[in-house]
Chain A
Amino acid sequence: MKKLIIYLPISIFGIISTLNAQSTSLRLNGNQAFILGADYPSSYPFLGFFEGSFEPQNGLLVGGFGLGVRVERPLGNKFLEYHASLGRSRTYEPRIQFTDENAQPIGLGYGINTNYYTGIMALIAWPLDEKKNLRFHTGAGLRGIFVSRSKYWLPSGGGESLTTSGPNNSLNTYTIILPIELSYRLG
């Protein structure tokens, strides 16, 4: 049951060095993943807190995040950029009816899929203002998932949750990514 997932990362970055018009930046992102072409379009928030959450132990929901390094150099009036990153993304799994050894329903279980990935991208950036702070970027890249696991659990009021987990093989290990990006540099 292959799924297509669209990522929407929101990043902050700081320029860490400049050399001969080439600059390097370190980028932190929080990302939201969206599932396309599935019967259960739903996404896991990249940050949230729900009192009485179904999440075991606490109500804090932490979804996707990542860290990347980008090198850019001028290319005419544009910029050529190379980007490498490590990250995590999360999506909900469809809810599952938990049953006991006697076929009695014991509740609806929740599931989350967590993926750890590494990615590389090459981008062209077009400045959209005179100071070149606002830029539009696009290009192509490759992302590889090196760990994909799903965790399911059945919350129980005040008691210990029934939890199980295992690898998730439903996603392609390698996917082509087509980034479309807007950035604004402050300062």
Chain B
Amino acid sequence: MHRLIGLVVMAIGLSLGSCEPPEIEPRKFSVDVFPNPFFDLVQINAFSLPPDEIVSIRFVNEEDEPFIEIDEVRSGDFFSVNLSEEPSGLYFLEIDNGSETEVVQVIKGERE
């Protein structure tokens, strides 16, 4: 019986990243998504969108699959989206005006 102790460093070429959580980027579009986190209903409020701005909104799950799309969202529009049948987790709300896209992350929480 040998009792040998070793040390292994499994190194794959990479550059070390920061060990701090990344910061959030400033919003591009004045579309409110709330509450965040949500449980069943998530509200989308476009009251502050400029009058000449028309955007489309779509929900994308973590597997990159869009599952809800709302076209021609204008200033003053308000939507309540029921995601009670969707699994909890992270969702991406893509807001697109044809030339720019913003991605807002929303969390569907898990009831304990």
A-to-B contact residues, CB < 8 Å: 1-2, 6-15, 17-18, 23, 25, 27, 29, 34-36, 39-45, 48, 92-103, 108-111, 133, 150, 152, 162, 164-170, 178-187
Contact B62 A168 (CB under 8 A): yes
28 contacts between A and B (CB under 8 A): A1-B60, A6-B12, A11-B7, A13-B6, A14-B5, A36-B14, A41-B18, A41-B22, A42-B19, A42-B22, A45-B19, A92-B21, A95-B22, A98-B36, A99-B32, A99-B34, A99-B35, A152-B107, A165-B88, A166-B88, A169-B62, A170-B63, A180-B10, A182-B9, A182-B11, A185-B4, A185-B6, A187-B5
B64 within 8 A of A: yes
B97 within 8 A of A: no
Contact A42 B17 (CB under 8 A): yes
Distance, CA A93 to CA B92, complexed state (A): 13
B110 within 8 A of A: yes
- Give residues of chain B (95-112) contacting chain A, Cβ–Cβ below 8 Å: 105-110
Given A43-B19, A170-B63, A182-B8, A18-B1 contact (CB < 8 Å)? yes
Q: How close is B24's CB to chain A, nearest CB, in angstroms? A: 5
Q: List the B side residues contacting A29 at CB < 8 Å.
A: 8, 10
Q: How close is A1's CB to chain B, nearest CB, in angstroms? A: 6
Q: List the A side residues contacting B21 at CB < 8 Å.
A: 42, 92-93, 95, 110-111
- Not counting A6-B14, A164-B109, A182-B8, a sample of 12 additional A-B residue pairs whose C-beta atoms are within 8 angstroms of each other reads A8-B12, A15-B2, A17-B1, A29-B10, A41-B17, A42-B22, A100-B34, A103-B32, A109-B37, A110-B21, A111-B21, A170-B90
- Give 1 or 0 for each of B19-60: 1 = CB within 8 Å of chain A CB: 111111000000011111100000101000000000000001
Contact A8 B10 (CB under 8 A): yes
Q: List the A side residues contacting B76 at CB < 8 Å.
A: none
Contact B8 A23 (CB under 8 A): no
Given A34-B14, A94-B105, A183-B9 contact (CB < 8 Å)? yes
Q: List the A side residues contacting B61 at CB < 8 Å.
A: 169
Q: Looking at the complex, which one of B4, B10, B12 makes contact with A11 (CB distance below 8 Å)?
A: B10
Contact A43 B17 (CB under 8 A): yes
B87 within 8 A of A: yes
Q: How close is A80's CB to chain B, nearest CB, in angstroms? A: 17
Q: How close is B63's CB to chain A, nearest CB, in angstroms? A: 6
Given A166-B110, A168-B62, A169-B63, A42-B2 contact (CB < 8 Å)? no
Distance, CA A150 to CA B5, complexed state (A): 35
Distance, CA A25 to CA B19, complexed state (A): 31
